[in-house]
Chains A and B, each alone.
Chain A
Amino acid sequence: MTSLAKEKKTVTAAHATGMQKLAINFKKYWQIYLLLIPALVWYLLFAYYPMAGLQLAFKTYKAKIGIWGSPWCGFQNFEAVFRDMYFWRSVGRTLLINVGRLVINFPAPILVALMLNELRVGRYKKVMQTVFTFPHFLSWVVVASIMTNLLSIDGLVNSALSAAGIPTINFLGSEKIFQPMLYITDIWKSAGYSSIIYLSAISGIDQDQYEAAEIDGATRWQRIWSVTLPNILPTISVLFIMTTGNLMTAGFDQIFNLSNAATKNVAEVLDMYIYRITFTASTDFGFSTAVSLFRSIINMTLLVIANKGSKMMGGTGLFG
């Protein structure tokens, strides 16, 4: 190849469009791209192909002829959904609970990560990390059972209150306590595990920045505030956007297991509503899918808004 030809190719590559760049990259690194195939197949099979089932939202489901053969019913399912006041209540409740989670629970793993990072003794740090992470592996059924044993009228906490001469508290049946209980149990169960991602971001911070700050006489608190937090901000942004994209999903497992008849009015989030409509009355998969599709659209909208907002504030975005 002549030097002119080489130069021409370089120029072409430099001015190539996105697709051309991808083709050039693919040709150059095809072995690496090959490794993507299993993940792509997984996504196609389990994330994209099932989306075809969303058409049920516009159909009257007939099991015998399947999703594709079932007759279309236009927006009939949506009309029924939007007429139901309990649907709107569940939407409101889901948003209320999740905005609370965003304010109260979202910072918790960041705080745990910062605290763990400040621990000096390596072994103690590992022990603490294990202690914080362990609850993640318990199912909500187990957690609910623990909470019942702790908080029931004959439970540990009320027994202690009684022994101290303090009136007992109806923790499990109080609508006022239900929402805080969701946050507390969620933090207890998930904060440790979720902090792992922040810890890994912290471990990637250039140590020179800490040394420079120390030389400048920065206190520990100042180092956290001026070095650690700014460095993990991109990670916080991405996770914040993703959490915002799930604002309409309130954790069915947790609420299903922790709620009861006394707290049902404050516990019927959208997932519980879908469950009730699907499995306590005659089966109507079209109706349930319509509710789920509505939820996904709201989640998608919130995700895009959060992404835009993050970028407008100079932060990192997920896409675009």
Chain B
Amino acid sequence: MKTRKLFAMLLAASLIASLASCGNSGDTSSTGSSDSDSQTSSSTSDSSTAESSTPASTKTDSGVLAATTDVTAEDILARDYSEPITISFAGIQVTDGLDYNHGNEYYEWWTETFNVEWDITSLTFDNWVERMNTWINADDLPDWSVWNFNAGDGANYADQGLVMEMPEDWKTQYPNLAAAATCSPANEYYENLYGGMYYFFRPVFANNFPSDTITSHISMFMRTDWAEEAGYDLSANIESGSISLTQFLEYCQAIKDAGLAEYPWYNTSSYVGNVLDRVTEASGVIQNAYYKGDDGMYHWGPAEEETGVKEALRQIKQAYDNGLLYPEFYTLQDPDDIGHFYAAGDAAANMYTGMAAWFDRYEQYMQENLGVSFWDTSDVFILTDDEGVAHDDPSTNYWACNILSPNMDEATYERIMSIWDYGCTEEGQLRIRLGVPDVDWKYDEEGNIVNLVQDTEYGTLENKYTSLYPITGNMFILSDDYSFINPGFTETSREKVTDLYNKRAEITSVKDEEIDWDLSSYSSQAMNLASMTYADEYANIITKDGDFDTNYDQWVSDKLSMIQPVLDELNAAFAE
């Protein structure tokens, strides 16, 4: 009897809920909300707020970014910072337990000069998206956060005012920042699209970029001494600075056959997926797998033979089955995989960040752990397809964006903006990258920068100031750019990284391709449902037993049931 009553109550409640929802959905449509509300229009808003007077950035004699504005570093430092302010900050790459306020001269200069205390929350790559989304949706953002932008949420958050919209005068008030913002086209595009500046896309490269084409720096680190020992000739590759996937796997096979490594190639599933991205069109590991074909229609990379995804994956699967790739690569965490190269010494190759800082680290760690020099035993190569093309996506030149809480007071806003603005001046960049003037670096009589840390017990700025990153280091302009001229890195590393970029610019697939903003900024519920972690999907196919073709075709067929609605939407909206 009681059960019947309980059911009756539940039934009544669900009916009321249904009626209420039906009734209100009508109200919703009458206020203009519709299905299309869940989609982000990709057409650029007519009401452009991007000011035509945006200051431009130029390269100075010392090669450092400086804005063509009248507001100098001295002007910024001369402002009134007498009121102490605590700024809450959330970002990844923050180390828990480190003091980012006191304890070293580097940080103390920032906290004392700008009279701030950092209240820091550390995020990891695992919880970054989850925590940021929770905070934003709870309207409880820290004052300053680093957010991994995605177009769907970006439009939604801007529309609701869950992130701060910059006041109209921000570009004139903080012109150095505005100049640096022009380095990433995403800043202007999304400012126009959303009708205001909500997201500060952090430029990967500003003015030190050695080539006109922006490409990826991800490269393949390989033991050249083992190649020699195994009788595999790498001389042509060393000359060109590049290696094709087929050659790379032949190299791994030679190393294995010679008994030099049980598993020559160690990488996380992300980097194994990254290999696919480097040798195919539109595999989806880093950028979208959707692309506009020559027919003017949108397609999904893995389903199209012309992209080469299936064949490249087949090669990797074969390598996995032959024991060239570490059998449990999908359980490896970054940087455990590269540790096998420079610390354990049982890996012949891995793919990783091809920046000067990392070349120096490989050198340091190999000397410390293996007693050999990285440069004597190894080299770095650009991975290409068998035609010698290095695949890249047209670059929006940013990695993650800075966002501000809409609830902060004006004083906090002004202080953060001043710090960013200063960080984008030449003086600010030198302080960020080289440390404290006259302590960590100085100008010699000829006006050249002399690094004073290099010959000390620390060797590098990172070793001296353990809390160097990420607040100042990655404040706005990211550190990649300065790799090329930073005397804090060895000359060998800087020359190598510059050489690789120049070589890559010649063989990259992007050249003069334009960014597909329609696609980049598109979002819908169908696209949400079709989202996946491509690196994990590929790792799953690589490790799956049975026939590769059957498994791959089955996977494509499964996914297409979710992908096709997205393609239909994209083609309906943007097909030519």
Contacts and interface: CB of A to CB of B under 8 A. Distances in A.
Interface size class of A (residues with CB under 8 A): 35 or more
Contacts of A148: 331
Interface residues of B, number: 57
Contacts of B2: 319-320
B543 A173 contact: yes
Contact of A172 (B23, B137, B328, B544): B328
A153 B327 contact: yes
A315 to B, nearest CB: 16
Contact of B21 (A73, A83, A283, A319): A73
A279 B328 contact: no
Contact of B327 (A173, A284, A320): A173
Contacts of B37: 60
Given A86-B562, A282-B150, A283-B133, A262 B540 contact: yes
A76 B31 CA distance: 17
Q: Is the interface of B mostly helix, strand, loop or mixed?
A: helix
Given A62-B160, A277-B529, A261 B535 contact: yes
Interface in A55-75: 55, 58-64, 71-75
A279 B561 CA distance: 21
B287 to A, nearest CB: 15
Nearest to A62: B160
A85 B331 contact: no
A74 B22 contact: yes
Nearest to B4: A320
B138 A284 contact: no
Interface in B448-506: none
A86 B558 CA distance: 9
Given A63-B162, A262-B543, A284-B525, A72 B28 contact: yes
Contact of B17 (A55, A265, A283): A55
A182 B97 CA distance: 35
Contact of B139 (A63, A72, A262): A63
A262 B330 contact: yes
B528 A282 contact: yes
A274 to B, nearest CB: 12
B161 A64 contact: yes
A287 interface: yes
Given A264-B536, A281-B152, A80 B328 contact: no
B533 A280 contact: yes
B211 interface: no
B317 to A, nearest CB: 13
Contacts of B153: 282-283
Contact of B529 (A64, A80, A153): A80
Interface string B31-73: 1010001100000000000000000000000000000000000
Contact of A152 (B24, B137, B331): B331
Given A72-B20, A277-B528, A60 B38 contact: yes
Contacts of A60: 28, 33, 37-38
A282 B562 contact: no
Given A85-B562, A277-B529, A264 B27 contact: no
A160 B369 CA distance: 28
Contacts of A72: 20-21, 23-25, 27-28
Interface in B350-368: none
Given A63-B137, A262-B540, A85 B561 contact: yes
A6 to B, nearest CB: 33
Interface string A111-134: 000000000000000000000000
Contacts of A74: 21-22, 24-25
Contact of A75 (B21, B27, B31, B130): B21
A261 B536 contact: yes
Contacts of A63: 136-139, 160, 162
B245 to A, nearest CB: 20
A261 B162 CA distance: 34
Given A72-B25, A261-B540, 12 more contacts: A58-B20, A60-B38, A63-B138, A72-B20, A74-B25, A152-B328, A262-B540, A262-B543, A262-B544, A280-B129, A282-B152, A284-B525
By Cβ-Cβ distance, the 4 closest A-B pairs, closest first, are: A282-B152, A72-B24, A261-B539, A281-B531
Interface of B: 1-3, 6, 17-18, 20-25, 27-28, 31, 33, 37-38, 129-130, 133, 136-139, 150-153, 156, 160-162, 269, 326-328, 330-331, 523, 525, 527-529, 531-533, 535-537, 539-540, 543-544, 558, 561-562
26 contacts: A58-B21, A63-B136, A63-B137, A64-B139, A64-B162, A72-B21, A72-B28, A73-B25, A74-B22, A76-B25, A172-B328, A175-B544, A261-B269, A261-B533, A261-B537, A261-B540, A261-B543, A265-B540, A277-B529, A281-B152, A281-B528, A282-B151, A282-B152, A282-B153, A283-B137, A320-B3
